[in-house]
Structure 1
């Protein structure tokens, strides 16, 4: 079969009602929700570390932690995938750092203000996307270069895309900052330190967030649905049966940084020209299937790795650079 016929078949398969329904379901229930939920978790993590680090060491350690994250993010953005979120999170973390010293009322007010700016989409007219004709030509170029180019050709094209992608990051930057601050508030509330006693409140929060999502616009629905997911998971995890049911995800979560970067490596091999070259050639169902398989393999690999080591390799590197000292890697015998 000619390459043109193969491309036509991929187009027909990808545009089937089955694939359209999957794409619609992912857009409504998944797309961007994980990023919003992870923003909350990142803010919670910052607040947790702030409380656990000795006061005189807080600023240098957290500052170094965020600068190391920024460096890794820039490398990831340029060498592997320009959809990187680490760079944005590092920059947002640096801006949020002073709020860890602020009173809760100021953190809450700032969070609500930033989320309000995001919900009103005030940055879109200020930072419009490039013209539709440019975008259409760019999609054609991306399908050609990513699917057929070698590493250096893809690198040059990836770098050229950054200016087009930058407005998208700037649009959601107020949301990222607002959710970081909301995470700080959640940690300070004590909710996560005694979840069994707050199970009813967590369920009510999830129900309220789901109710808001039903009639919400895309911007609000992204945040409300992410909040609903988080509250439901926490509520389930606060029970014995829920903790057992969700326990399989603990190892992959403990190695989230490593697994995030490994997905970029794996999918680079799957989609780019220096690998299988499947960029732009898979239906959404096949792409989803590959994603599920990779995730399952990462769950297994994470479980095996943490049977021997305390941290994932990237987590260990991050922690060692943060403390400016090599951290113990292997599990102690009694562990």
Structure 2
């Protein structure tokens, strides 16, 4: 009970919101396996209401919850660091062990469930930031700036290449061929063949997880610095910080992310990997404001439960979505109807809410969280 009382409710609510939003991005990959172009591009969004709806959701969902979840992982690292210092635990050995467990979890998730797993990338980022967090504030700040500059430079170069690539007929033809093969694999072939595909093309399927490492480092440290600045405390200073996050995050983030609707692909990459974190900060301020106003208490309570069981719900949602869409399950993919995809997103969210309530009621947390915590701290307890 002590652990439950010491939890910061806003962080749980945000974590739950991020998990639901992550499903809102990933479900399109399940519905149309292999269609990577659909994740990055909103071409011809004006042609139908379904296209408009898909693009509209992309503006507010695609990449935004990846960024929000990354910031929250950084805050979680800071909380673990404080606990280690408070209890005299060996920080580096303990946290590297914890990240190795997360890396293993992510690897198993990648092999047996979903090739776009984010846990492996978070584990590698955590191993790096675990060393940075021990230094004085100035070095931490410089590390964040340097990683942000490296990431931003890389995104500019990739964006320039992307604009030329999506106009190249040979590239588009090759992407269409690969997309068709992947669609056939997940729609018609066995579970074992899908596992073999993920293992055979391990590095190709892990390219995003590697390329976003510097973005992850930046957002981890940003989360740490926000927490140290008092943004999640219960006082007037914290409210002022969160109000600024909401005003500037939404006020700047929404217009920037709307640029993804500009034809030509100029902002496709930047929207997911540069503009998205700005809007994610706005979401932090927005949900803090909603929580303060005590609006939609039933819904907020459901988000909170999912946040307390975030790791378990993340794995669960991908297992359930695999069963629904893949050929070894209900074989719904490939699914082109945006309305049906959105309906399934809502239904899966309701299922997650029920599962999270069950976990919290009978375990106090998610089963994977319980196991991970036991394995993480047991070797280092005095």
TM-score range, shorter chain: 0.7 to 0.9
Distance (Å, rounded) in 2 between the aligned partners of 1:245 and 1:166 = 34
- Segment drifting more, 84-93 vs 308-317: 308-317
- Superposed CA RMSD in Å reads 2.7
Report the equivalent of 1:103.
136
Cα gap change, 1:259 to 1:56, in 2 (>3 Å): closer
What is the 5 A alignment of 1:13-52?
Answer: 17-52=48-83
Distance (Å, rounded) in 2 between the aligned partners of 1:163 and 1:256 = 26
Report the equivalent of 1:64.
97
Q: Point out where structure 2 has 5 or more consecutive residues left out of the alignment.
A: 1-45, 258-269
What is the 5 A alignment of 1:1-335?
Answer: 17-53=48-84, 54-120=87-153, 121=155, 124=158, 131-195=171-235, 197-213=237-253, 214-215=255-256, 218=271, 219-241=273-295, 246-324=300-378
Distance (Å, rounded) in 2 between the aligned partners of 1:127 and 1:257 = 35
Contact 2:231 2:239 (8 Å CA) reproduced: no
Distance (Å, rounded) in 2 between the aligned partners of 1:18 and 1:296 = 25
Report the equivalent of 1:7.
none
- Segment drifting more, 177-186 vs 105-114: 105-114
Distance (Å, rounded) in 1 between the aligned partners of 2:88 and 2:286 = 34
Deviation at 1:187, TM superposition (A): 1.6
Q: Deviations over 1:30-62 (max 9, x none)?
A: 001000001000000000111122234322321
Distance (Å, rounded) in 2 between the aligned partners of 1:264 and 1:245 = 22
Structure number with the bigger relative contact order (C-alpha 8 A, sep ≥ 6) is 2
Distance (Å, rounded) in 1 between the aligned partners of 2:365 and 2:54 = 35
Cα gap change, 1:55 to 1:243, in 2 (>3 Å): farther
Distance (Å, rounded) in 2 between the aligned partners of 1:127 and 1:81 = 27
- Segment drifting more, 223-232 vs 278-287: 278-287
Q: Point out where structure 1 has 5 or more consecutive residues left out of the alignment.
A: 1-14, 328-335
Deviation at 1:241, TM superposition (A): 4.9
Cα gap change, 1:271 to 1:16, in 2 (>3 Å): farther
Contact 1:81 1:264 (8 Å CA) reproduced: yes
Distance (Å, rounded) in 1 between the aligned partners of 2:161 and 2:199 = 20
Distance (Å, rounded) in 2 between the aligned partners of 1:25 and 1:100 = 38
TM-score normalised by structure 2 residue count: 0.75
Report the equivalent of 1:331.
none
Cα gap change, 1:160 to 1:16, in 2 (>3 Å): farther
TM-score normalised by structure 1 residue count: 0.85
Larger radius of gyration: 1
Residue correspondences, number: 313
Q: Deviations over 1:276-309 (max 9, x none)?
A: 1122224222112111111111112211221121
Deviation at 1:229, TM superposition (A): 0.6
Deviation at 1:168, TM superposition (A): 2.4
Contact 1:269 1:276 (8 Å CA) reproduced: yes
